[in-house]
Structure 1
């Protein structure tokens, strides 16, 4: 599940704080909104992400603390600034 560049970029964005789909898309500009939605759904089904509807937006956050630790460990090498 984590062996995908786009999903790693999503997780790099979400390690900072919960984000809306629009905010996440700023970190993954090279994929379509539809592809982003599919990646988010896959991560949610895998139990890695959780989402909450807030008004017109859906806010995603990392649910699995092991993923937070893993992304934190590789952040300086993969996520960049």
Structure 2
């Protein structure tokens, strides 16, 4: 059972969306490292693309409208930081986001920015 209030207990095999954790120094530094990886517009665009589903370097290069070398450098940083995973499909490398927390984080980041730009009222 969770010790965090308002978080219902879950079955052991059910993935959790909320974790009852206390943010110590290691956790905060790890979280800040993830946010630093998102804090660059080209990387954020690549991650937003990957939040829609796995993609090849060619697909990401086209979507980002950036040189392949630039996209590859950003993907290498994201892979080394553990934010993206890779798999081979013949000669192609397919990139995907590591987990659902990252998908939701990226989607919420983009939605938050949309509210700031458009002036749409905030909500829960």
TM tier, smaller: 0.7 to 0.9
Aligned residue number for residue 61 of structure 2: 25
CA RMSD of aligned residues (A): 1.5
Deviation by residue 1:21-77 (Cα, 9 ceiling, x = unmatched): 111112210x21111100000000000000011101100000043221111213342
Runs of 4+ residues over 3 Å off in structure 1: none
Q: 2:85 aligns with which of 50, 53, 72?
A: 50
| SS class of match (1:17) | coil
| SS class of match (2:87) | strand
Task: Normalising by structure 2, report the TM-score.
Answer: 0.58
Aligned residue number for residue 75 of structure 1: 110
The number of residue pairs the alignment matches comes to: 77
Task: Supply the distance in 1 between the matched residues of 2:51 and 2:109 (Cα, whole angstroms).
Answer: 11
The structure having more radius of gyration, on CA atoms, is 2
Task: Normalising by structure 1, report the TM-score.
Answer: 0.86
